[in-house]
Amino acid sequence: MSLQQTVARLVERLQPGSVARDVPLERFTTYRVGGAAAAMVGVSDEAQLGVLAEVLAGDDVDVLVIGRGSNLVVSDHGWQGIVVHLGKGFNEITEDGDRVRAGSAASLPVVANWCARRGLSGFEFTIAIPGSIGGAVRMNAGAHGREMADALAGARIVDLGTGTAIDRSPDSLGLGYRRSNLTDKEVVVHADLGLAPRPQSEIRGLMDTYRTHRAETQPAAAQNAGSVFQNPPGDHAGRLVEAAGLKGFRVGGASVSTLHANFFIADKGAPAQDVYDLVQEVRKRVRDRSGIDLTPEIRFVGHFEERLEGVPR
């Protein structure tokens, strides 16, 4: 079945207004770059995810799930498939004793503050991570020596390829350094967090420390997607990029931050290709200097030109 046929079926099955064509994706990512999605489907709850799965069953259609888009760079050519955008029904947060259930679209800082107000500790490290619960589960997000695996008690997953919904244990998710075993068609519905009581003053103090550290070391106000590269074992990607003399290095409308070398900035109106070229050129120069091949932490989706010899330009 063609993409257009699949989109037509989605229009028939989902609520009016849930499906849109040719949607610019730049406003759905923190880099604010990239082209349009051939189709975007907005879903507000697990039931609608189930309907979406029924329509997609057996179709060879590319699917991209977007939460806050904080580690995503979309090609200038856009996404020639279906983008799934999780709506307000996936923002809910509830508690049961020391267990907190947070919807996949909920902002990590919002959840951290929500837990702090209730004197629940163990999620403070996410206060300055500009991502969502779903993305944090998918990539096992972390900061300040902790990661999602340390707080995660379980997650509910809907497989858009099979239509099945299952509650997964942390062990079954294959969580490692900035990774999980979730596929592109497996959508996080919510995550359960196992936390512990602690005085609010202590929780707030810890979060203030994390906020201050971020403000002093990271370009939070600029168009970026957080850390660009994973830290290699026993070292830091930012140190390697800086040691290669690349702080401030620029390719077109994208540059390495002068504040933190593992953060890359996109100028307003910059093409996504510039971000891609910058990442590839920095990766090459670090490898040439240190012998270490850095692994990108941000995700590039869609078609990008391979023109390494043409940069900088």
Task: For residue 183, give the CATH number of its domain.
Answer: 3.30.465.10
**Catalytic residue status for 2:** no
End position of a domain, from candidates 215, 247, 265: 215
Query: Choosing from 18, 107, 180, 227, which is the catalytic residue?
Result: 227
| pLDDT score at 313 | 47
Q: Specify whether the CB–CB gap between 229 and 283 falls below 8 A.
A: yes
Task: Assess whether 309 carries a catalytic annotation.
Answer: no
What confidence score (pLDDT) does residue 215 get?
Answer: 85
Q: Are residues 257 and 155 in the same domain?
A: no
Work out how many domains the chain is built from and give that number. Answer: 3
Co-location of 210 and 233 in the same domain: no
Catalytic residue among 26, 124, 147, 297: 297
pLDDT at residue 217 in the model: 84
Residues 68, 20 within the same domain: yes
Do 55 and 153 lie in one domain? The reply is: no
**Residues in the chain where the model's pLDDT stays below 70:** 1, 220-222, 309-313
CB atoms within 10 A of CB 56: 23
Set 156, 178, 214, 283: catalytic member = 178
pTM over the 0.85 mark? yes
Is residue 227 part of the annotated active site? The answer reads yes
CATH of the domain at 289: 3.90.78.10
Residues 9, 80, single domain; the answer is yes
Last residue of a domain, one of 198, 215, 232: 215
**Final residue before a domain boundary, out of 159, 190, 215:** 215
Q: For residue 249, what are the domain limits?
A: 220-310
For residues 83 and 40, the answer to whether their CB atoms sit within 8 Å is yes
Check the CA dihedral 147-275-246-264 and report its sign: negative
